[in-house]
Amino acid sequence: MDPLSQLFAHPRAERAFSLLMTMRSPWTVDIADGSALTLMAVIRGRCRVAAGPVDHDLRPGDVALIRGPRPYRVGDPTGHPPLARIEPGQRCITPDGRPLHVAFARGLRRWGNDPDGPDAVVVASYAEAGSVGRFVTDVLPDVAVVPAGRIDAGPVDLLHRELQRDGLGQSVVLDRLIDVVTIEAIRAWAADHPPAGEPWLAGVTDPAVTVALDAMHTRPETAWTVAGLARLAAVSRAGLAARFRRSVGQPPLRYLARWRLALARDLLGDPTLTLDAIAARVGYSSGFALSTAFSREYGHSPRAHRRRMAAPVDPVGAGQRPPATNTQNG
């Protein structure tokens, strides 16, 4: 299983939020919700995404992946001053801080200044990708644009239709559709822009490397060596090492160490697991050995990371019905 598959098998992917935003010009919205990754698909009209040093004009059929948690701006091409701001907790306010969620709410999953506006955009976002997910999201630019026609329009159309109705199990259906569109968008972007540091994201075509990656991803607790992985892949040790570096961008055991620590970092979110139990799951001989490697990689101890994850979150907008544009949902 590759990190892209692992990202969307991760429990935190279930927190994806989705809605249909319908707008009439002039409109601009400041987004500061802190989401890890946001998907935007233009259904009709146009919109401009301003994140980082470049503005991106999107047209019908275009899909954009916006990497958080930094704030960004979305609006029509006029550059009109913002009429709304989205904050953590889905708190929707005017630029001067007045509540706006009632005025712009068009139902459970529709939002905007005009329900029949000519600009319509599907918005979906992941509150947190997790450390494993960041193997993927950290490779993306501030905004990764996939032009119309590069991915199958079917899942986007299904997502659009599902957002316009209500029914049993809808949140599960939306989660799966969001995952499919996001995965397809990442695949298409990586194929057109192979990341130099993580070439595997564009797809690993070397069968020996695929075998080695699958072994490390699915059995991280195994005491893998390059020789052992090579035997599994039926190639020489030197051959696997060279092919792995060429396909993945780093030596096999360095990649394995990063993978194990990313898994451990996510597992620290489960308060029922001891450090020794986590160490056993990800291939370290003891909690002490894991703690040493973890501190070297991340600059703080597992205990400090666990305290940070358990810290209470300021419930901004608590008690309000989620109305906003790109944020999270359960």
Q: What is the pTM of this model?
A: 0.79
pLDDT for the residue numbered 263: 92
pLDDT for the residue numbered 139: 84
Using the predicted structure, report yes or no on whether residue 6 has a pLDDT greater than 90: no
Using the predicted structure, report yes or no on whether residue 81 has a pLDDT greater than 70: yes
Mean pLDDT in residue range 232-247: 95
Per-domain residue ranges of the chain = 3-192, 207-310
Mean pLDDT in residue range 220-235: 97
Instruction: Provide CATH code, domain 207-310.
Output: 1.10.10.60
Confidence of residue 73 (pLDDT cuts 50, 70, 90): very high
pLDDT for the residue numbered 312: 52
Average predicted confidence (pLDDT) for the chain: 86
72 Cβ contact list (under 8 Å, min separation 6) = 31, 49, 50, 51, 52, 66, 142, 143
pLDDT for the residue numbered 175: 86
Residue 70 DSSP class? S
Residue 322 and residue 104: Cα distance in Å, rounded? 11
Question: Which pair of tokens denotes residue 330?
Answer: 């359960």
Instruction: Provide CATH code, domain 3-192.
Output: 2.60.120.280
pLDDT for the residue numbered 15: 59
9-43 burial string, b = 16+ CB within 10 Å, else e? ebebbebbbbbbbbbebebbbbbbbbbbbbbbbbb
Using the predicted structure, report yes or no on whether residue 309 has a pLDDT greater than 90: no
Using the predicted structure, report yes or no on whether residue 319 has a pLDDT greater than 70: no
Which residues are bridge partners to 85 per DSSP?
30, 93
pLDDT for the residue numbered 143: 95
pLDDT for the residue numbered 17: 81
Using the predicted structure, report yes or no on whether residue 313 has a pLDDT greater than 60: no
Least confident of 16-30, 77-91, 98-112: 98-112
Using the predicted structure, report yes or no on whether residue 315 has a pLDDT greater than 80: no
Fold match, 3-192 / 207-310: no
Using the predicted structure, report yes or no on whether residue 289 has a pLDDT greater than 60: yes
Confidence of residue 2 (pLDDT cuts 50, 70, 90): low
pLDDT for the residue numbered 131: 82
Place of tokens 């050995």: 289
Q: What is the dihedral of CA 308, 310, 314, 315, to 10 degrees?
A: 150
49 vs 324, residue with greater confidence: 49
8, 131 Cβ separation under 8 angstroms? no
Most confident of the ranges 9-18, 130-139, 197-206: 130-139
pLDDT in tens, 115-141: 999 999 999 988 887 788 888 888 889
Confidence of residue 194 (pLDDT cuts 50, 70, 90): confident
Confidence of residue 66 (pLDDT cuts 50, 70, 90): very high
1 Cβ contact list (under 8 Å, min separation 6) = 9, 214, 217, 218
